[in-house]
């Protein structure tokens, strides 16, 4: 029987922002892992995600970090950097540090820029600063995602969907055998690149997934039935 590839976003999907994963969700993921391969696709960097995967006791063939910018294979330690970091993102990073200094923490990424303000009320000011910093000629080349606790800047021509398609090709898995689960607009590309797309909650407004659930436990229970052909 061919195994499904199930892809989960982390923050807002598997775990609430800034909180540990509920033990019931961990147990459900471990149970699902017996019947399907699990990949986590997140805005976090691959080192963080690799530690997360080990911590919850799930075996994963690959992980997708930085919103699709990097793919990492835990078993072989192979890393694929999907796109070179644009010079403009490096320049913005330097300017952010000049202006905000120790008021922010920058996630150690290979490509995207992820800014965590130490005080959440700084998010709006940082966003305004970023919009002022991006040169007019570069505005179409950079995407900005604002989360509850951080801001991501990534090249416009990369996303989780590009990484999922690449991973499908590497692992030789048909789209029909891919199930993705996410909760926000930056998850839409990977939902599109999946045979079954599942949204959690109501934050995704610009795409109609094949299924929607209020909580990830319900989504995992549904996926288990699909992958075991119950």
Domain match, 166 and 144 both: no
Domain match, 110 and 218 both: no
Task: From 120, 155, 190, give the residue that closes a domain.
Answer: 155
Domain match, 8 and 29 both: yes
Domain match, 123 and 208 both: no
Domain match, 168 and 146 both: no
Do you know the residue count of the chain? 230
Domain match, 93 and 52 both: no
Look at residue 125 and give its three-state secondary structure. Answer: helix
Tokens of 175: 């789209």
Res 115: pLDDT: 97
Number of domains in the chain: 2
Domain match, 204 and 223 both: yes
From CA 44, how far away is CA 206, in angstroms rounded? 23
CATH classification of the domain holding 184: 3.40.50.1000
Res 1: pLDDT: 60
Residue ranges in the chain assigned as alpha helix (H): 23-33, 46-56, 87-100, 123-133, 160-171, 188-192, 216-227
Task: From 132, 155, 178, give the residue that closes a domain.
Answer: 155
Closest CA to 219 of 185, 193, 191: 191
| Measured CA distances, 132 to 59, 92, 106, 129, 190 (Å) | 43, 10, 19, 5, 30
Angle at Cα 183 formed by Cα 156 and Cα 159, nearest 5°? 20
Domain match, 131 and 188 both: no
Domain match, 91 and 149 both: yes
Domain match, 42 and 147 both: no
10-residue averages of pLDDT along the chain (230 residues)? 91 89 97 97 96 95 97 96 96 96 97 95 94 91 91 96 97 97 94 97 90 96 92
Q: What is the DSSP letter of 36?
A: E
From CA 146, how far away is CA 104, in angstroms rounded? 15
Tokens of 36: 């399907």
Domain match, 72 and 173 both: yes
From CA 43, how far away is CA 138, in angstroms rounded? 21
Domain match, 175 and 63 both: yes
From CA 92, how far away is CA 154, in angstroms rounded? 12
Q: What is the DSSP letter of 11?
A: B
Look at residue 66 and give its three-state secondary structure. Answer: helix
Res 61: pLDDT: 95
Res 142: pLDDT: 95
C-alpha torsion sign, points 64, 34, 57, 210: positive
CATH classification of the domain holding 93: 3.90.1070.10
Asked whether 156 and 140 are in contact (CB, 8 A), the reply is yes
> Would you put residue 201 in left (φ > 0), alpha (ψ -120 to 50) or beta?
left
Residue 109 domain boundaries? 87-155
Q: What is the DSSP letter of 120?
A: G
Q: What is the pTM of this model?
A: 0.94
- Which residues make beta-bridge pairs with 156? none
Task: From 155, 177, 206, give the residue that closes a domain.
Answer: 155
Cα Rg of the chain (Å, integer) = 17
């Amino acid at each position: 029987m061919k195994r499904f590839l199930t892809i989960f976003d982390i923050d807002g999907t598997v775990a609430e922002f800034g909180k540990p994963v509920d033990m019931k969700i961990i147990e459900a993921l471990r149970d699902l892992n017996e019947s399907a391969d699990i990949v986590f696709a997140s805005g976090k960097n691959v080192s963080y995600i690799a530690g997360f995967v080990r911590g919850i006791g799930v075996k994963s063939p690959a992980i997708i970090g930085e919103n699709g910018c990097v793919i990492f294979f835990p078993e072989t330690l192979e890393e694929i950097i999907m796109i070179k970091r644009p010079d403009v993102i490096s320049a913005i990073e330097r300017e952010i540090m000049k202006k905000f200094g120790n008021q922010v923490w920058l996630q150690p990424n290979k490509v995207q820029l992820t800014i965590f303000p130490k005080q959440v009320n700084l998010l709006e000011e940082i966003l305004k600063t970023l919009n002022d910093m991006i040169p007019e000629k570069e505005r179409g080349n950079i995407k900005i995602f604002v989360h509850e606790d951080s801001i991501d800047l990534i090249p416009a021509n990369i996303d989780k969907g590009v990484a999922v398609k690449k991973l499908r090709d590497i692992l030789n898995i048909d789209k029909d055998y891919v199930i993705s689960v996410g909760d926000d607009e930056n998850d839409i590309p990977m939902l599109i690149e999946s045979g079954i797309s599942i949204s959690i909650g109501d934050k995704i407004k610009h795409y109609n997934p094949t299924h929607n659930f209020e909580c990830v436990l319900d989504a995992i229970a549904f996926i288990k039935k699909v992958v075991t052909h119950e």
